[in-house]
Amino acid sequence: MSFTRLWAVSRKEMIQLRRDARSLYLAFILPLVLLLLFGYAISFDIRNIEMGVLDESRTPESRRLVEAFEASGYFTVERRLDRYGEVAAELGAGRVRLVLVIPPSFARDLAAGRAAPVQLLLDGSDANTATIARSYADAIVAGYSADALLDGRRLELPARSESRVWYNETLESRNMIVPGLVAVIMSIIASMLTALTIAREWERGTMEQLAATPVHRLEVVLGKLLPYVVIGVFDVALASVGGILIFDVPFKGNVLLLAALTLLFLVGALGLGIFISAALKSQLLATQVAMMATFLPALLLSGFIFSLSTMPLVLQAMSYAVPARYYVTVTKGIFLKGVGATVLWEDAVAMVVFAVVGLALAIRMFRKELA
């Protein structure tokens, strides 16, 4: 392999990239746009849940319970109902997600030391919001019950739990989402960028000139890969800094370790794009296939949004073939936990395997022949 020829191919690719507005947009603008779009749009923090209240007790005790819901910051009382028959209409129309029903005997039961149940009616058409809303509501009612017990009987609760959250102390979903977004975005961008390289040569008729040179196909693939590795590292740095400054995501790990593992991931993703480009020889088709091969697997099977442990065994097995799975673990581990190579070495080995396979497929598929 000649480094002179390798540099010549890389320089030629950089010149083509500079003249291609679409590739420049993909390389430098789209990653930041996707980070901002998904970073603000995706959130598992449910707040200001619209709720209705049917207070049949109408006592100071029942009003304090409603005030506890409002003071929590998770619920907003949008409707105050007069009769039970209005509940179905409010939930069915989507005006509220939850209805709190306080029975007439609520205050009397509390005063007598008996259990004073209340009813929570939830809209289950959005199962995720309903589950979270029920957890919030149960916690508020439990807190109210503890206060009532202490106020009425001056007793200490027999058992108390004190919890402490590590790595994401505020439980902000953005702290979990943004590091994973870096992996998902780079999976898409990297493969789409290189999916245009070989196909561009065929469509513009410049493959004949390349075929007439003594450049080996290994030099062609590596030469076309190098500029995009540099761009990919720049994009990861841009997305990481954006996540830290814009979304206040903590960064507790080692920058050099993140850079090294990013290189491994990018080589595999870029190699996959060149393989697709060499196989299809059409920029449009290669872009579409690259999007399908990276976007859905990276989004669904990487552990970015959905926990892999809850998936069927077949999908868990398929996720091992998704490079983003390992890079999501790397970004979350370095950003939030500050772990080192002793923890991430298995993911690093997996990314080395994908990098070797990606390059091998790209080199094997690329042909200088014009048949």
Q: Where in the chain is the domain with CATH 3.40.1710.10?
A: 49-153
Nearest CA among 227, 145, 169 for reference residue 193: 227
pTM given for the model: 0.76
* Predicted confidence (pLDDT) per residue in 248-259, tens digit: 888 988 999 999
Query: Which tens digits make up the pLDDT trace of 43-71?
Result: 666 778 899 999 998 998 889 989 999 99
| CA pair distance 6, 76, nearest whole angstrom | 63
pLDDT in tens, the chain (371 residues): 677 878 888 888 788 778 777 777 777 787 888 888 877 777 666 778 899 999 998 998 889 989 999 998 889 999 999 998 888 888 888 889 899 999 898 888 888 777 788 888 988 877 777 888 888 888 888 888 777 665 555 444 444 445 566 777 776 778 888 888 888 888 888 888 788 777 777 777 776 676 667 777 788 788 888 888 888 899 899 989 988 998 888 898 899 999 999 999 999 888 888 888 888 878 788 888 888 888 888 888 888 877 787 788 898 899 899 899 999 999 989 998 888 899 899 999 999 999 999 888 888 887 755 55
Q: Which CATH number fits domain 49-153: 3.40.50.410, 3.40.50.300, 3.40.1710.10, 3.40.50.720?
A: 3.40.1710.10
